[in-house]
Amino acid sequence: MIRMTLAEVAAAVAGALHPYSTDTPDTVIGGAVDTDSRAIGHGDIFVAKPGEVTDGHRFVVAAVEAGAALAIVEHVVDAPVSQIVVADAVEALSDLARTVVAAVRARGALRIVGITGSNGKTTTKNMLARILQDEGETVAPRGSFNNEVGAPLTMLRVDEDTRFLVSEFGASGPGEIARLAGLVAPDFGVVLMVGLAHAGGFGGVEATLKAKTELVEAVRPGGVAVLNADDARVVTMADVAAARDVAVRWFGRGTAAEVRAEDVEVTASGTTCIIVAGAERHPLRLRVLGEHHVMNALAALTTARELGVPLAAAIERLETLEIAERWRMQPMGSDRVRIINDAYNASPDSMAAALRTLAQISEPGQRKVAVLGAMSELGEYAGEEHDRVGLLAVRLRIERIVVVGRDARRLFLAAVGEGSWDGEAVFFESADEALEYLRSELRDGDRVLVKSSNSAGLRHLGDRLGELFS
């Protein structure tokens, strides 16, 4: 964070300052900001956020012992540290982020990119950050810091030397993207796709479309919306951009895109294609597994190009990225038994893409095994979407379909009903039971996909399989 006086921080968060010891309103601080006392270091700011399981106020003393110079709290705590009392710690976090980013932006060098979409946000964020980090200091979320706490924490990492802020905006309901993106008014708004992820919270795909459009509405006038030309719902956002004096740049696989991919080929070691932009044609070899990541790469390349990065240089940097993120199409195991751990998140679109990738990278003689768990937050669509996944797995000729968890049982029943009744599809209540089955079932040459929503916990099963067959 930039250096600020205690009085300036208190004003930013509309809080009451309670200085400790020799501190005064003019005392300057400039450390990192965090809500996790375990991440606090010397000179940092601890935000005591109440939570569903515990209360951050219980950890103020631990944060002070770790070196915190200031605590932002909702009530005074008996701890030897200056404190700013606010009405709502999460709101204070957002208010401080807005103030800090505005101060850095006013100096003229900071460019801000916001990314949203039903799938692919974290991968695209990592791809763009990798490209931009060679241009100047770049701040991007760690993992999937894209909610009401994670997004402001990322914003608060900017300082006087930051040239690029890449923010990832997720949401589980209407208005969340508008509020988060509104903190910074991005120069660029990247929309990847509109699908059924979190449809239960939004109330359907049309409500999801409206929520994702909030990012385009938040882009500052004179900025740029980077849109998926292949997604009919995203295409409708061009009218919103035009009404706000926001330019549009298109990416995609079709000829309508200004930056597009041709001759896409998928292998077990990555994906190759030709990137076309006007008269430019460049080969790209992604190490990240999965044809669906080509669209994420196109979004990152289009945005980088608008930021002045030569396309050839951006591609060269992108080719150094080995995995999108832990638990996202992460290769594990060995050549003997290859595990693809993609169990951090799942939606109908990403589940289908992962299954197709499994089919594409498996050569003759290599058995395809899909270990599948539930997709969360689908609301009324949950049943039919789990049915679709079960049907698709059978139609892709996945030889073993291992379904884990009661919430995914309908997927198993759909697979059996489609024709996978001779032991190809099996069901287990727990990951431990599935592990014991897989320990004896997997054999040399198998290619194994582990895929579920985060809440299903199969990412840890994927890790255990990776260790077992490494």
- pLDDT tens for 109-133 read 899 999 999 888 989 999 999 999 9
What is the residue type of 296?
N
Of the candidate ranges 173-177, 324-328, 411-415, the one whose mean pLDDT is the lowest? 324-328
- Maximum average pLDDT range among 49-53, 203-207, 278-282: 278-282
Asked whether residue 21 carries a pLDDT value surpassing 70, the answer given is yes
CATH 3.40.1190.10 intervals, the chain: 109-318
Q: What is the mean pLDDT of residues 265-283?
A: 93
Q: Which two tokens stand for residue 342?
A: 């993609």
pTM of the model: 0.87
pLDDT score of 171 more than 80: no
Whole-number Å distance between alpha carbons of 455 and 453: 5
Domain with CATH 3.90.190.20 in the chain: 330-468
The residue among 318, 402, 390, 348 whose CA lies nearest residue 195 is 348
CATH of segment(s) 330-468: 3.90.190.20
CATH number for the domain running over 4-87: 3.40.1390.10
pLDDT bucket at 199, cuts 50 / 70 / 90: low
Beta bridge partners of 265: 272
At position 286, the amino acid (one-letter code) is L
d(CA 11, CA 8): 5
- Of the candidates 116, 173, 122, 176, the one whose C-alpha atom is nearest the C-alpha of residue 148 is 176
Q: In the predicted model, what is the mean pLDDT of residues 95-105?
A: 97
pLDDT at 203: 62
SS (H, E, C) the chain: CCCEEHHHHHHHCCCEEECCCCCCCCCEECCCEECCHHHCCCCCEEECCECCCCEHHHHHHHHHHCCCCEEEECCCCCCCCEEEECCCHHHHHHHHHHHHHHHHHCCCCCEEEEEECCCCHHHHHHHHHHHHCCCCCEECCCCCCCCCCHHHHHHCCCCCCCCEEEEECCCCCCCHHHHHHHCCCCCEEEECCCCCCCHHHHCCHHHHHHHHHHHHHHCCCCCEEEEECCCHHHHCHHHHHHHCCCEEEEEECCCCCCEEEEEEEEECCEEEEEEEECCEEEEEEECCCCCCHHHHHHHHHHHHHHCCCCHHHHHHHHCCCCCCECCECEEEECCCCEEEEECCCCCHHHHHHHHHHHHHHCCCCCCEEEEECCCCCCHHHHHHHHHHHHHHHHHCCCCEEEEECHHHHHHHHHHHHHCCCCCCEEEECCHHHHHHHHHHHCCCCCEEEEECCHHHCHHHHHHHHHHHCC
Q: What is the pLDDT of residue 368?
A: 96
Residues 52-70: what's their mean pLDDT?
Answer: 94
Mean pLDDT of the 444-454 span: 94
> Residue type at 287?
R
d(CA 138, CA 152): 16
109-318 under CATH 3.40.1190.10, yes or no: yes
> What integer pLDDT is reported at residue 297 of this predicted model?
97
Question: What's the pLDDT at 103?
Answer: 96
CB of 184 closer than 8 Å to CB of 208: no
Which range is least confidently modeled, 100-104, 239-243, 265-269, 276-280? 265-269
Whether the pLDDT of residue 198 is over 60: the answer is no
Find the mean pLDDT for residues 211-239: 97
Confidence of residue 196 (pLDDT cuts 50, 70, 90): low
Are 254 and 228 within 8 A, CB to CB?
A: no
Give the range among 57-61, 293-297, 351-355, 378-382 with minimum mean pLDDT: 378-382
Segment 359-387 mean pLDDT: 91
pLDDT of residue 128: 98
Read off the pLDDT of each residue in 194-200 and give the average, rounded to a whole number.
66
**Six-digit token pair at 244?**
């706000």
When pLDDT is averaged across residues 414-428 and rounded to a whole number, the result is 83
Q: Which regions of the chain carry the CATH code 3.40.1390.10?
A: 4-87
**CA 218 to CA 184: how far, in whole Å?**
8
* For residues 417-429, average pLDDT: 82
